[in-house]
A and B are shown apart, each in its own frame.
Chain A
């Protein structure tokens, strides 16, 4: 019985993978249509349905067998040229795939209730029995086919080659829980390593000339290197290509284009770029929001595009690439762009910012307003209606991953959303800072620079502390005020850590800088999870528990305070 459960688990995982590819293949198929080039693609689609049916039969999932069986029949007709690939046919096939997904999730949840299949089976039957079948003997004349072969043989062949490369032989499947365990253990090891290094350093200073200390230092250094290597190696085992997330988007964009009457092409680049599994799991939702936003509000209807001298077909491009220790994911559209002036108007209208502030805002700052909570668009503002729905959620999700989101847009040309994400979420580089008796960790990714300032350089403008930094004015927050910490003494020299989120910059006043440390993020317990400005905790080399600051909240608070201030002036 146990063996059976394991087989069913395998079946679920493997079938999910098949379905993921299936969605992508089907959308690709619709683009190519029925011709010689689509043959390989059709074969692989057919095989997927066939395979799911076969295994389902053994496992007694009759509903899956029935749905797959009819779908397979239809695919077989497409394969043999007895039916043509039309949007209507594709709609039904995609619907069937959706039902297969539902049935699979029922298997996964051990839900044994019957799912009503009448509708989908009837739809499949209708198509199967439809009269407008293409007669095989009336296939296009051979000459035409040859011409097509000459003009477009490249693409599908490439796709086939890619497919083959993906199939590796040297892989094993591992329960992700086990990988998580390993990752946690490595996290603990990193903490112990940090601690060991601290102790070794103390001993080195104390017993400089002792012969026994030298080997200990050497050993410590090697441990340090090995731990870092181990951490990298374990991280690699958790890496997955971003393709895993990207693969569901062609279907989504296709469905949207079908239902809205827009013509949209989705391009994807850098799908092989790898990211930590946990990041992969978390970026799906924000990306769905952003892509939906692009196709819904960015891309214009075909007629409007034509009128403006653009191609009727709009384009959305997803790309992923490495940039240092970060992964960058961009979502770009060639639609109508976002009018920053309208955003400002709306933000003022909503009371998010004051009028004088709006006037002073740069275009970039204005665009970033769409991520502000409360910038919803219940009322219609023609060009930008709907923009902002869920956008603050996008930002929160990305911030939770210690990532940042940025936006660029040009009216009439399009918009680009840029997500910068860390390679992993479990271990980050942090700047350790001190205020009073307390130590805090600031994610290094958000730290722009640190400056030493004299007390006198800090000015107060309408109750707010600022310093002039190069050409501009930087608003400041005192960490001691944020967390009600008693500062030890009135220091003459303080440090300002400049943190940034997209275009926003805020200076955080601290008393001491300890330097950079690799920290393992430990979640706070449920009862502490709602503390504003803290995203987690970690243990330092000397065994102290240190809170990790939530940069996005610190910056957001500053923005809120600022707009409150501007409003009160009004």
Chain B
């Protein structure tokens, strides 16, 4: 499982959602979290800091989760960072697209900290 000191980036355009996600991660013992409000901001942060895990929303202005994912995978320095997609029920069919773009896994809104933990266990073994 991911070490509790791991640096995690939470990407969502809605600050309440970022807070909810950070709060859940905290419940799971991860306090070293950072946030970005869209793909562009996330990408800048990812390039300059060393993140161990990215949790991103799909639908965001400027640069959406899918584009973010592709950009992260395209850069040799960041291509191995695990990315978890937070998606809505309606986008469930699109997860194939996300996985093709390099998503490590996806999680459907709304979810509990328990479910998040399971997803992370799947990613980090």
A14 touches B16 (CB 8 A): yes
Among A53-61, A281-289, A366-374, A390-398, the stretch in contact with B: A53-61
Q: Per a CB cutoff under 8 Å, which of A47, A57, A58, A76 touches B61?
A: A47
State whether A7 touches B19 (Cβ < 8 A): yes
Residue A321 at the chain B interface, CB threshold 8 Å? no
Nearest Cβ on chain A to B85's Cβ, whole angstroms: 13
Q: How distant is the Cα of A72 from the Cα of B60 in the complex, in angstroms? A: 15
Chain B 42-79 near chain A by CB (<8 Å), digits 1 or 0 = 00000000000000010111100000000000000000
Q: Is the CB of B23 within 8 A of A167?
A: no
Using Cβ atoms and an 8 Å threshold, which residues of chain B touch A18?
14
Knowing A47-B59, A167-B37, say if A54 contacts B19 (CB, 8 Å): no
Q: Is A256's CB within 8 Å of the partner chain B?
A: no
* Docked-complex contact A58 and B20, CB < 8 angstroms: yes
**Residues in A whose Cβ lies below 8 Å from that of B111:** 58
Q: Is the CB of B20 within 8 A of A47?
A: no
Interface residues on B, range: 20 to 34
Question: Do B20 and A3 touch across chains, with their CB atoms under 8 A apart?
Answer: no
B residues 63-113 in Cβ contact with A at 8 Å: 88, 90, 109-111
Please pick, from A7, A50, A53, A169, the residue contacting B16 in the complex, using a CB distance under 8 A: A7
Q: Are A54 and B61 in contact (CB under 8 A)?
A: no
Contacts of A51 in B (CB 8 A): 13-14, 17, 59
B residues 1-40 touching A (CB-CB < 8 Å): 13-17, 19-20, 23, 37
Contact A54 B110 (CB under 8 A): yes
Complex-state Cα separation, A494 to B88, whole angstroms: 76
Query: Smallest CB–CB gap between A40 and chain B, Å?
Result: 9
**From residue B108, how far is it (CB to closest CB) to chain A in Å?**
10
A169 and B15 alpha carbons, distance in the complex (Å): 12
A10–B110 touching, CB < 8 Å: no
The minimal Cβ–Cβ distance linking B17 to chain A, given in whole angstroms, is 5
Please report the C-alpha to C-alpha distance between residue A498 and residue B79 in the assembled complex, in whole angstroms.
Answer: 75
A15 to B16 Cα, complex, angstroms: 9
A520–chain B nearest beta-carbon distance, Å: 35
Q: How far is the CA of A334 from the CA of B17 in the complex (A)?
A: 46
- For residue B1, give the distance in angstroms from its CB to the closest CB of chain A: 23
Given contacts A7-B19, A7-B23, contact A55 B14 (CB under 8 A): yes
B99 to chain A, nearest CB (A): 21
**What CA separation (Å) do A54 and B59 show in the bound complex?**
11
Query: Which residues in A have their C-beta under 8 angstroms from that of B110?
Result: 54, 57-58
**Residues of chain B within 8 A of A567, CB atoms compared:** none
What is the minimal beta-carbon distance from A71 to any residue of chain B, in angstroms?
13
User: B111: nearest residue on chain A (CB-CB)?
Assistant: A58
Least CB distance, A103 to chain B, in whole angstroms: 15
Q: Collect the chain A residues with CB atoms within 8 Å of residue B60's CB.
A: 47
Which residue, A18, A164, A167, has most C-beta atoms of chain B within 10 A? A167
* CB neighbours of A7 from chain B (8 A): 16, 19-20, 23
Residue in chain B with minimal CB distance to A48: B14
Q: Is A164 within 8 A of B13, CB to CB?
A: no
Distance in Å from the Cβ of A469 to the closest Cβ of chain B? Answer: 59
- B16–A11 touching, CB < 8 Å: yes
A58 to B14, CA, bound (A): 13
A44 at the interface (CB under 8 A from B): yes
The docked-state distance in angstroms from the alpha carbon of A44 to that of B37 is 15
Beta-carbon contact of A44 and B61 below 8 Å? yes
What residues of chain B lie closer than 8 Å to A57, measured between beta carbons? 109-110
Are B88 and A50 within 8 A (Cβ)?
A: yes
In the complex the two chains form, what is the Cα distance from A50 to B15 in whole Å? 14
Interfacial chain B residues near A43, Cβ < 8 Å: 61
**Most chain A CB within a 10 A radius of its CB, from B13, B14, B16, B20:** B16
Q: Mark A37-50 against chain B: 1 for CB-CB distance below 8 A, else 0.
A: 00000011001001
Q: Is the CB of A55 within 8 A of B61?
A: no
The docked-state distance in angstroms from the alpha carbon of A513 to that of B93 is: 79
User: Chain A residues with Cβ under 8 A from B14's Cβ?
Assistant: 14, 18, 51, 54-55
Chain B residues in 8 Å Cβ range of A11: 16
Determine whether the beta carbon of A10 is less than 8 Å from that of B109: no
Q: Inside 8 A of B61's CB, which chain A residues have their CB? A: 43-44, 47, 163-164, 167
**Least CB separation from A76: chain B residue:** B90
**Is A169 a contact of B13 with CB atoms below 8 Å?**
no
Nearest CB in chain B to that of A72: its residue: B90
In this complex, which of B41, B57, B110 has the most chain A Cβ atoms within 10 angstroms of its Cβ? Answer: B110
Report A-chain residues with C-beta under 8 Å of the C-beta of B19.
7, 10
Contact: B88 with A55, CB < 8 Å? no
* Bound: A54/B88 CA distance, A: 7
Q: Are B23 and A54 in contact (CB under 8 A)?
A: no
Interchain CB contact under 8 A, A53 and B20: no
Given contacts A54-B110, A58-B109, contact A10 B88 (CB under 8 A): no
Q: Which residue of A lies closest to B86 (CB)?
A: A54
CA A50 – CA B64 in complex, angstroms? 14
Contacts of B17 in A (CB 8 A): 51, 54-55, 58
Contact of B20 among A50, A55, A72 (CB under 8 A): A55
Q: Which residues of A contact B23 (CB under 8 A)?
A: 3, 7
Residues of A within 8 A of B59 (CB): 47, 50-51
- Bound-complex Cα distance A243 to B43 (A): 31
Given contacts A53-B88, A58-B109, A58-B110, contact A14 B15 (CB under 8 A): yes
Contacting B at CB under 8 A, from A89-127, are none
In the complex, residue of chain B having the shortest beta-carbon distance to the beta carbon of A8: B16
- Whether B13 pairs with A54 at a CB distance below 8 angstroms is no
Partner of A164, one of B16, B41, B62, B109: B62
Find the A residue at minimum CB distance from B26: A3
Which of B20, B23, B37 has most A Cβ within 10 Å?
B20
Q: Quick one: which of B15, B37, B60 has the most chain A CB within 10 A? A: B15
Q: Besides A44-B61, A57-B109, A167-B61, 5 other CB < 8 A contacts?
A: A47-B13, A55-B20, A58-B111, A59-B20, A163-B61
Chain A residues packing against B (C-beta within 8 Å): 3, 7, 10-11, 14-15, 18, 43-44, 47, 50-51, 53-55, 57-59, 72, 76, 163-164, 167, 169
Q: Would you give 14 A-B contacts (Cβ < 8 Å), ordered by A?
A: A7-B20, A14-B16, A43-B61, A44-B61, A50-B88, A53-B88, A54-B110, A57-B110, A58-B17, A58-B109, A72-B90, A163-B61, A167-B37, A169-B41
What 8 pairs across the A-B complex have the smallest Cβ distances? A57-B110, A11-B16, A58-B110, A51-B14, A10-B16, A55-B16, A54-B109, A58-B20
